[in-house]
Structure 1
């Protein structure tokens, strides 16, 4: 069973085998964590992502990490759901993002993975609900990943993820 931990910081600075990108379906970069990862990884990430697009909500694909500092070797791109009030299957799609990302990590041989808070930015997913889904899903998935790090960019996200982890 993977060890799950919550940290506060910049996901592009995590010392893990793979980081997960909360991407849009074009995989060409955007705002928030997606923009930060693309900036840190360099322009080749956009080219590699575009070659794999489109990526549909709930799915995940991987590219090399390019200019991200080792030990990061892979960026796993997942497209979270846009919040539409909760009755459009958003919870299942969000859980699928975490599950599929871990499946991709397993296929890459990654032993440590860092996740951002998927869909809680511009996609509008309520952060408290997203934190519970993230923790419940990564705890329940059978994976060869040994360390799953949930990376909170700010204190409110950190507090929500920590509370969900402590339940």
Structure 2
């Protein structure tokens, strides 16, 4: 046991600790290495949502640390979902897939007026007819009836 007056030096490097959001930067990974890591995660498909995206690519967008984000192109709509390299959660990818699939289903379920026998109109969704009627009536000059 050392005496209190010994030459013991205690180093407190807590000020040097790197926040967890900057883990990739602290590991010194290059953008190319981050992309390689993202490709590995994509190929392992630990989350089902990755199946709805093409392989990730390096984005031109930069994160708050001035590092390139990783872009995940959606197989359904082509939109690229940009994710910082320090964000490993697929939540934003899952949300996009859910929204994208809902939009596709809504478009599939929507009938156009031509499909129900109305001709001479552009493709108007029948659900828009009441609103369009209100607009058309509002545009009629005063003194005329809609």
Give the TM-score taking structure 2 as reference length: 0.21
**Hey, which of these two has a bigger chunk of helix by percent?**
2
Give the TM-score taking structure 1 as reference length: 0.19
**Hey, which of these two has a bigger chunk of strand by percent?**
1
Higher relative contact order (CA closer than 8 Å, sequence separation 6+): 1
Answer with 1 or 2: which has the greater Rg.
2
